[in-house]
Structure 1
């Protein structure tokens, strides 16, 4: 693709892309889609430079393991050119929207993985970029490929998901539609047929879906899953799975020092406070990856990052330097467990300063000695979290929130527990709940 591009017209979804700058209250947003969440050190430096030179210096890690730059003003073309020159763009301008394939952040290095998903992911991404028919997919249409890693986000819904499992000595890929790997699979294919399955699903979706049916769930509301699968069976071989799969994982950490499959190597997970990095933080982290790792970073669906392939003897020093840059490297910090959307500071739909309120809440929870997973959302769209958090605060006005607790029997955020609470009242209520013997 030509190294010089100007912003392309907005599609109806108006999702940000690298070539599509979408306006917000705090300026334009440019979203950089990372293959498998990975970025080379020199590319990370290019992102830091672009954010510093052409925007407001705010870089966000997203819940799909991508990056976005906020606060872009009048230098959109210069920013885009900088990122394209670093190799962060799509194969063609029209292909940017379809690069939505999420892997485990530890693909290829996880001690529990059943196979390395990266070659298959590269093949799928190459196909969807090179075939113009797939460019009609919605910018939100997404695929997940799970290789059985211990560190995996299994709760984000995807239009198509594939998850590795082992049975009778054979590794296969279970798959499902409009859901998560924790759902009952629709069927399974061999590893060699994974690419053809995804292509067949995408082709069939585009044939059946009306223009307003941009997601798989929209199509399945009209065409039954059984009908879709019957048509799919005419295009690709798959086996029906009669029983569910075990999807629980040991729960590897995305924060702190964790061993890799290769002896003597670790990855180090670090959390940018509330998912935001400044240029110095990203540049410094890239330099650490260059000096102590494999000159790459991996971003995660938890809005954090990993430095892979660090030697055991260097781990403590890397953690110290990450903390000096302002990243959180301990899961025992309350702030490391909180997520918040942009809020009213940068979004016209936000009813409260969610990030400012999250900082206040983190301080109160730390004082009480509690480390809880809490999601603060400025409006019902829930942009910061694709999954349902154990605790959700939904803004209703400046500094006030409705409080929800996750409940599998309840739709949306879960069960409404209290309305119109201040942050201080939320902290007091959560402290009392944590101390209650009924919740022990």
Structure 2
């Protein structure tokens, strides 16, 4: 049951939550954490209604498969009440911040999955919210549970990641700390021990970390990995994970029509630059009710999926999503761009990144190019939890420094050009040879 918010139990944080509205230039922000990125049609309609009634109508899909409402006015308490009544709140007020468990958006339906991660995910989510000590974790502390799906975000770093493998016909979980499933794992456990492993890792982290060490990487910068693993092994039996190789996820599976493991399909469409309005969300929810299973799934690529659609309905569903203003093809330049809120809504941003991204998309369309570019209004990189192939870092209104991703360099990568306008960037990109940056 969702409990009402209480100011005495919600700890201070700069991150918005469902029970904590954080102020920005364009009003308050409320973040709604979705279990596994999934939301029922009636819940999505409740979000749309709340955004219309109590905010500016702007709804954002986040890079962790959640939703947030922007532009909230003085009636933020009424907005929270409406969302709680729709069943979108945590099990306990102090459990809201720690509901940071990311799954594949195709969990349970992906053709490549080794097993369905959702039962274990439900166990973990209940524990995160009801185990009082875990409420000491930072709102940024995050766990990933990967079932080996073809559609999986493997570039986001997590404090703890778990990834499916099959050994001698039995299900196991490889796991690692402060990284991704593309890294070398620290060990493996049988699937049945997955919940115990998560509890042991989190409790050990809290035992060892100082208050200022809010992420696993902060702790491991001071305590050697070998020492952490030695203490972990005393709490839960572990085995070495030899010859680990996570298959790369397939790009573009979050948009378009794709087969599931059964005889149905899911249909995906991207919110332009991560933004929906109330009409988009409400109509997508109704479409899910009519043509799918009555649910939507949001993805780390800021898109939404309608799962369990009959194949004969797929083209109609895709066309209706396009009519709503959603992007239905990876060939659309705007579908490959990421942009933060920008100076229209954030006091730290140096440029209107949303408007500049749309201008860039129009230029790329004219040039027949599709590039993966992240426009960031400041160095915090709020819109992208990974380093994009190309990053435009704002230095002034309408002007950016351009970086290309380079694994040997920190931050955004290698600096390519200074103080570019969007128009100059278009010319610069058009003149360069084709490269791995092209989507």
- TM bucket normalised to smaller: over 0.9
Residue in 1 that maps onto 2:105 = 105
- Confirm whether residue 174 of structure 1 aligns to residue 187 of structure 2: no
User: In structure 2, what is the equivalent of residue 307 of structure 1?
Assistant: 306
Partners of 1:248 and 1:31 in 2: CA distance: 30
Q: Could you tell me which residue of structure 2 aligns to residue 87 of structure 1?
A: 87
**Using a 3 Å threshold, how does the CA distance of structure 1 residues 340 and 100 change in structure 2: closer, same or farther?**
same
The answer to whether the 8 Å contact 1:7/1:77 transfers is: no
Q: Distance in 1 between matches of 2:2 and 2:85?
A: 9
Cα distance between partner residues in 2 of 1:432 and 1:216: 43
Deviations for 1:335-385, whole angstroms, at most 9, x for unmatched residues?
011010001110010000000000000000011001111100000000000
Counterpart of 1:54 in structure 2 is 54
* Cross-structure match for 1:284: 283
- Indicate the residue corresponding to 1:295 in structure 2: 294
Structure 1 residue runs of 5 or longer lacking an equivalent are: none
Alignment partner of 2:213: what SS? coil
Give the equivalent residue in structure 1 for 2:145: 145
Distance in 1 of aligned mates of 2:101 and 2:438: 38
Rounded Cα–Cα distance in structure 1 between residues aligned with 2:436 and 2:267:
35
Q: How does 1:370-381 map to 2 (within 5 A)?
A: 370-381=369-380
Alpha-carbon distance, 1:396 to partner: 0.4
Given that 2:98 and 2:141 are in contact with CA atoms closer than 8 Å, whether structure 1 keeps it comes out as yes
1:270 match: 269
1:115–1:32 Cα change, 3 Å: same
Displacement of 1:252 in angstroms is: 5.6
Distance 1:439 1:398, change over 3 A: closer
Q: 1:116-265 residue pairs with structure 2 within 5 A? A: 116-251=116-251, 253-263=253-263, 265=264
SS in 2 for 1:344: coil
Q: Deviations over 1:286-310 (max 9, x none)?
A: 0000000000000000011101011
2:420 maps to 1:421: yes
Deviation at 1:131, TM superposition (A): 1.0
**Bigger shift: 326-335 or 10-19?**
10-19
Q: CA RMSD in A?
A: 1.7
Q: SS at 1:339's partner residue?
A: strand
CA contact (8 A) 1:7 1:20 kept: no
Deviation at 1:429, TM superposition (A): 1.4
**Counterparts of 1:293 and 1:169 in 2: how far apart (Å)?**
33
Once the 2 structures are TM-superposed, how far is the Cα of residue 6 of structure 1 from its aligned partner?
Answer: 5.8
1:349 is the counterpart of 2:348: yes
TM-score after normalising by structure 1: 0.97
Q: State TM-score, norm by structure 2.
A: 0.97
- CA distance in structure 2 between the aligned counterparts of 1:79 and 1:188, rounded to whole angstroms: 43
- Once the two structures are overlaid, the 10-residue window that deviates more, 428-437 or 307-316, is 428-437
SS in 2 for 1:395: strand
Secondary structure of 1:30 counterpart:
strand
The number of equivalent residue pairs is 439
**1:144 aligned counterpart, secondary structure:** strand
Q: CA deviation at 1:438?
A: 12
Q: Equivalent residue of 2:316, what SS? A: helix
SS in 1 for 2:343: helix
Q: What secondary structure does 1:204 align onto?
A: helix
1:42 aligns to 2:42 (yes or no): yes
Partner Cα separation in structure 2 for residue 60 and residue 439 of structure 1? 26
1:31 is matched with 31
The structural deviation recorded for 1:430 is: 1.5
* Conserved? CA contact 1:403–1:418, under 8 Å: yes
Would the alpha carbon gap of residues 85 and 8 (structure 1) be closer, same or farther in structure 2, given more than 3 Å must change?
farther
Moved more, 100-109 or 428-437: 428-437
Asked if the contact 1:150/1:252 (under 8 Å) is kept, the reply is: no
Q: Give the drift of 1:251.
A: 3.8
Distance 1:240 1:288, change over 3 A: same
**Which residue of 2 is the match for residue 334 of structure 1?**
333
Q: CA deviation at 1:439?
A: 9.1
Give 3-state SS (helix, strand or coil) of 1:286's partner.
Answer: helix
List gaps (5 residues or longer) in structure 2: none
Tell me if structure 2 keeps the 8 A contact 1:252–1:258.
no
> 1:97-132 CA distances to partner (integer Å, 9 max, x unpaired)?
110000000000000000000000000011111110
